[in-house]
A and B are shown apart, each in its own frame.
Chain A
Amino acid sequence: MFRECDVPKTDHHEVVEASAPADQRAVLTQRRTNRFARVEPKGKRVYTARERAEMLVDDGSFVEMAPMRSAGAGAGSGVVAGWGTTDGHSVVVVSHDAAVASGAIGAVMAEAIQKAQRFAIDKGYPIVYINDSGGARIHDGIFALHGCGGIFALNIEAQSRIPQISLILGPCAGAAAYSPALTDWTIMVKEQGQMFLTGPDIVKAATGEDASAEDIGGSALHTQVSGVAHLEVVSEEEAFDATRLLLSFLPTHKGGRQKRHDPVPANPRAAAALPTLVPEKSSIVFDMDKLLDGVLDNGARLELMPTHAPSILTLFARLDGHAVGILANQPNARGGILDSKASVKAARFVEFCGRFDLPVLTFVDVPGFLPGTVEEGRGVITHGAKLLKAYVDTKSPKLTVVVRKSYGGAYIAMGSASLGAHANWAWSGSEIAVMGPGGAVALLHRRALKAAEEPTVLRDELAAVYREEVARPYLAAEAGIVDDVIHPEETRDRMVAALRMLTHGSGQ
């Protein structure tokens, strides 16, 4: 019933039809000219919704679904939906048209988006949402809300079927911010895209808080503090490039063929540096990225959430040509600890890899979960538990290597054997223990230390004995809890062999 108002009596297209009824070719041409007329983008926007969709996919591959669909006045449905290819692989694209009612989602626009979502889910193609919308179209009332809810429901249905990527290319409020939160990865253009429940004016009216759109929902907030978005880029072009790169690591759908490339050796200089890269003293930080350079295929990588919870690295890369997900502690940031945010970031990444059958390679050098009032108040126990669950639920190949130290609950959480690692190793200089030698000795030898004349000397002596006799990985290897103790330079070959075995040599 609400659709009756979608065909207004004063539609200018009717004038065209009336003036040239005999020449249907001219009518169609005129209608297309009107519909596809370029409306100059406003604000920081550079391209129209249609141009964005076309730029995202391979040249000339975009096909628009239902281009004549209109929410009235011949202006279009408010969204350009269609499909095309990226690197030759099919992808569905939904691009909000900010030139139609600021991209606000009305009943017709919601229906057009849902049609594209249904198509992507049923056919098994990834879907990219180019978001640029003020939220629900107020004029459509409950029909707008019902339509937005339908989009969310399909976002959730899609989670178990196809990868979903959201780009934020304008101010996205309400429903236009919630839908991205239900997708896998969100990319924001700096100083152009924002995500918030509601914009500055309504915030001011509701609570009195005076804040700019950037303060409430800018890319700095969401990629550093909140973790709502996963990548910040500086232009629309860069957003499309990042999306294509991301898609290059992913199958088109759950159970689909993994995109295997030709194997590329690791960076030779980084590989040569591996044996001496990790400082012997376990308290000294180093850059885990350099370690990854010495193991992984030398080629394209995509790190997600690089500025949020940086003590853990989450990235897509290749090993022996296989697309893989990498989870690695980063000692260079906050000592490489696990805390609430790092746990949520890590769990989300591992869960995604498991959902789309991507192997998970875990590189461990972790001093532990950060304890204390602040972290307990943030719910570190609940968040840490998410990481345990993500690993156990993940059935894709899980390979883990401890490169230096792995203590306590963090040892378990970082892809340990008990959580189902299919293959795992420890470097010869590593330590695996319930706690670091200093803390362990203080507990185990409390009385002796109290009675000692020089407790610090005794503590250091006992700690050295503990390190060599208890913490070194040979106990774990003898117990079968790590598969083997290896030299750093053997890591790549071990991982490649395990990956070939676990994927039946096929990339599956």
Chain B
Amino acid sequence: MILARAEIVSNVWKIVAREGDQVGAGDVLAVLESMKMEIPLYARAPGHVSKILVEVGQIVQEGDAIMEIDETAGA
């Protein structure tokens, strides 16, 4: 299991992937909003989304976990 983390202090603007979704490397998991920029959070490796740890509108700090991705169950 790996954690997809926020790369910048931001506000969770959109959650794109849902729990249980299969995702591929480079897929957009969520979109964070900071400095008036829409900052995509990408999956680094294929896997499935085992848990979403934040809600839309939540403020997250750099390094905060956004989602749990289970690599072993991935394609």
Contacts and interface: CB of A to CB of B under 8 A. Distances in A.
Interface stretch (B16-24, B29-37, B45-53): B29-37
Contacts of B38: 283-285
Interface stretch (A331-339, A349-357, A477-485): A331-339
Nearest to B42: A332
A374 B37 contact: no
Contacts of A283: 36-38
B36 A367 contact: yes
A464 to B, nearest CB: 15
B37 A335 contact: yes
A227 interface: no
Interface in B1-59: 7-9, 34-40
Nearest to A436: B36
A370 B36 contact: no
Nearest to A282: B36
Given A374-B61, A374-B62, A334 B8 contact: yes
A181 to B, nearest CB: 26
B35 A368 contact: yes
A368 B37 CA distance: 11
A43 interface: no
Contacts of B9: 370, 372, 374
Contact of B35 (A284, A367, A374): A367
A379 to B, nearest CB: 16
Interface residues of A, number: 18
How many of chain B's residues touch chain A, expressed as a range?
10 to 19
Contacts of B36: 282-283, 367, 436, 438-439
Contacts of A372: 9
Nearest to A310: B7
A285 B39 contact: yes
Contact of B39 (A335, A368, A438): A335
Nearest to B37: A335
A285 B39 CA distance: 7
A368 B7 CA distance: 16
A367 B37 contact: yes
- Which of A284, A285, A335 has the most CB atoms of chain B within a 10 A radius of its CB? A335
Contacts of B62: 374
A401 B35 CA distance: 21
- Which of B35, B38, B39, B62 has the most CB atoms of chain A within a 10 A radius of its CB? B35
B74 to A, nearest CB: 23
A334 B36 CA distance: 11
Contacts of A370: 8-9, 34-35
Contacts of B34: 334-335, 337, 370
B33 to A, nearest CB: 8
Interface in A225-275: none
Contacts of A337: 8, 34-35, 37
- Which of B9, B34, B37 has the most CB atoms of chain A within a 10 A radius of its CB? B37
Nearest to A335: B37
A282 B39 CA distance: 12
Contacts of B7: 333-334
A283 to B, nearest CB: 5
Nearest to A367: B35
A202 B56 CA distance: 47
A331 B7 CA distance: 13
Contacts of A374: 9, 61-62
A367 B35 CA distance: 6
B61 A331 contact: no
A436 B40 CA distance: 20
B37 to A, nearest CB: 3
B11 to A, nearest CB: 12
B35 A335 contact: yes
Contacts of B61: 374
A104 to B, nearest CB: 38
B5 to A, nearest CB: 12
A329 to B, nearest CB: 11
A473 to B, nearest CB: 19
Interface string A274-312: 000000001111000000000000000000000000000
27 contacts: A283-B37, A283-B38, A285-B38, A285-B39, A285-B40, A331-B37, A333-B7, A334-B7, A334-B8, A334-B39, A335-B8, A335-B34, A335-B35, A335-B39, A336-B37, A337-B34, A337-B37, A367-B35, A367-B36, A370-B9, A370-B34, A372-B9, A374-B61, A374-B62, A436-B36, A438-B36, A439-B36
Interface of B: 7-9, 34-40, 61-62
Interface of A: 282-285, 331, 333-337, 367-368, 370, 372, 374, 436, 438-439
Given A337-B8, A337-B34, A370-B9, 4 more contacts: A333-B7, A335-B37, A374-B9, A438-B36
The 3 closest A-B pairs by CB, nearest first: A335-B37, A367-B35, A334-B8
